[in-house]
Amino acid sequence: LVNLLSLLFNPCALYGILGIVISMIIDYCFYGFWTIPVLGNLHFNVIMGMGSLYGTHPIHWYLTAGIPAMTGLFFPLLIMDFFIDERRHKKWNLRSVCWCIILSYTILHSLSSHKEFRFL
């Protein structure tokens, strides 16, 4: 588990922090004060539950409609890649880490009632 966490966060932390800092500087230039607009969106859509004003889909929508529509003809390859046997590998590899990120992102977004293709 420690190996997985270090593989996930070590390369991503630098670029994630850098992206947040650059975004905050750009937002400061345009708004004139320090702000993080993503937190406003999170508050409105998730905490207040107002995202449903823009339409709703069932919890399984990303898995049954969103991902198949976005991947198109590559969907069978995506499914095949997911089920490839990884028991021969003793440690987490980059492919496993990518699948962990993709699945956790999709599951978390599936909990919201308002879903759009652009959220994927």
DSSP assignment of 98-120? HHHHHHHHHHHHHTSS---GGG-
pLDDT of residue 86: 64
Tell me if 120 sits within 8 A of 57, measured CB to CB: no
Could you give the CA distance from residue 48 to residue 41 in angstroms, rounded to a whole number? 10
Mean pLDDT of all residues in the chain? 85
Query: In this model, does residue 30 exceed pLDDT 90?
Result: yes
Q: The whole model's pTM is what?
A: 0.67
Q: Tens of pLDDT along 53-80? A: 888 899 999 999 999 999 999 999 989 8
For the chain, the residue count is 120
- Give whole-number Cα distances, 94 to 36, 77, 86, in Å: 31, 18, 12
Tell me if 4 sits within 8 A of 97, measured CB to CB: yes
Query: In this model, does residue 38 exceed pLDDT 70?
Result: yes
